[in-house]
Amino acid sequence: MSFTRRDLFKMAAVGAAASVGGNLQASDDAYPIDCSQTYGVLVDTVVCIGCRKCEWACNNEHKLSTTDLKTFEDKSVFQQHRRPVDNAYTVVNEFKNPETAKPYTIKVQCMHCNQPACASACIVGALKKNRLGSVDYDAWKCIGCRYCMVACPFQVPAYEYNEALKPRVMKCTFCLDRLEEGRKPACVGICPNEALTFGTREQLIDLAKERIKAKPELYFNHVYGEKEVGGTSWMYLASTDFINTELPKLTNDPIPHTTETIQHGIFKSFVPPLALYGLLGLIMHSLRENKEDKESDDERS
């Protein structure tokens, strides 16, 4: 069995067509999710008392550490600003309300964006938005490029730098196993003050607005995560402006939007490769004609 050049071209064309089709399907598959019905959590920092039990519950659920619950009662950690790391998917930080000088605490973890930048940046599809609301990570697919860490507007994904052989990207999983069983995430379950409320995004946005309306003197009139970067599954209420706290000021446009528009636009209908190959073909053809002309001229002479 032998391939002619023609066969090869044919196969390439079929392959290209298939990959175009596949790509389109993948991009359709990426955000067809009705994010009003995905699950989310409302973090009410007005109700939060900074007990750090959510940190313990998370560590316990994901076997990240075996530290005793009592050690989490230590408030001295608030003196430093902490970020989620590979052995702590969530941390609580304390800030001071500039108007009242009263402290308030904010829990940080993966926001599980509706249109996650990490998933868009991932070149192997190891990160994906789930229909339940979580942004899932597949360590088996991950090649460790850490583009997700650069792409994340909240700088959440951490990396197991201490792991020599099989390092993974580490971030809040939204307790996917529990979600699939219809249970709340571990942190929500343990919160003594119910500062964390689990529900669908739609319910939570209603709830958040209702709380602001009921006690406008307690709440800053903004539901962080309702619109930021196209909406996030985890949303926040606070007593003061979110700027200069844990949560950055971000646009309402989804982060992947610009890059994906350009990239997908260019590759739509396979135009640039076809154009490139067409151009190359033309050049080759014209060169060949020149050569043939030359040869025939030589023969004649």
CB atoms within 10 A of CB 237: 28
Of these, 102, 265, 269, 299, which contacts other proteins (CB under 8 A)?
A: 102
CB of 192 to other proteins, least distance (A): 4
CB of 56 to other proteins, least distance (A): 12
Size of the site for other proteins (CB under 8 A): 22
CB atoms within 10 A of CB 296: 10
The DSSP string of 184-244 is --HHHHH-TT--EEEEEHHHHHHHHHHHHHH-TTTS-S--BTSSGGG-BSEEEE-SS-STT
Burial (CB < 10 A; 0-12, 13-18, 19+), residue 287, is: exposed
Please say which residue, 46 or 64, places its beta carbon nearer to other proteins: 46
CB of 47 to other proteins, least distance (A): 6
Of these, 207, 209, 222, 270, which contacts other proteins (CB under 8 A)?
A: 207
Please say which residue, 141 or 215, places its beta carbon nearer to other proteins: 215
Q: Is 47 in the site for other proteins (CB under 8 A)?
A: yes
| Span near other proteins by CB under 8 A; candidates 207-215, 233-241, 252-260, 289-297 | 207-215
Of these, 45, 197, 233, 240, which contacts other proteins (CB under 8 A)?
A: 197
Q: Is 276 in the site for other proteins (CB under 8 A)?
A: no
Strands 39-44 and 234-237: parallel
- Rg (C-alpha) for the chain, rounded Å, is 26
Q: Is 193 in the site for other proteins (CB under 8 A)?
A: yes
- CA 90 from chain centre, in angstroms, equals 16
Please report which helix (H) or strand (E) contains residue 94, including its range: strand 91-96
Backbone angles phi, psi at 212, to 5 degrees: -65, -40
Q: Is 199 in the site for other proteins (CB under 8 A)?
A: yes
Of these, 29, 34, 163, 194, which contacts other proteins (CB under 8 A)?
A: 194
Q: Is 103 in the site for other proteins (CB under 8 A)?
A: yes
Q: What residues from 212 to 241 belong to the interface with other proteins (CB under 8 A)?
A: 214
Of these, 3, 5, 79, 101, which contacts other proteins (CB under 8 A)?
A: 101
Whole-angstrom CA distances from 255 to 38, 113, 120 are 19, 10, 9
Q: DSSP 3-state assignment of 271? A: helix
CA-CA distance, 81 to 108, in Å (whole number)? 11
How crowded is the C-beta side of 190, counted as CA atoms within 13 Å? 16
Q: Is 75 in the site for other proteins (CB under 8 A)?
A: yes
Please say which residue, 38 or 115, places its beta carbon nearer to other proteins: 38
Please say which residue, 101 or 165, places its beta carbon nearer to other proteins: 101
Backbone angles phi, psi at 92, to 5 degrees: -110, 130
CB of 214 to other proteins, least distance (A): 7
Q: Is 293 in the site for other proteins (CB under 8 A)?
A: no
Q: Which residues bind to other proteins, rule: CB under 8 A?
A: 47, 49-51, 73, 75, 100-103, 189, 191-194, 197, 199, 203-204, 207, 210, 214
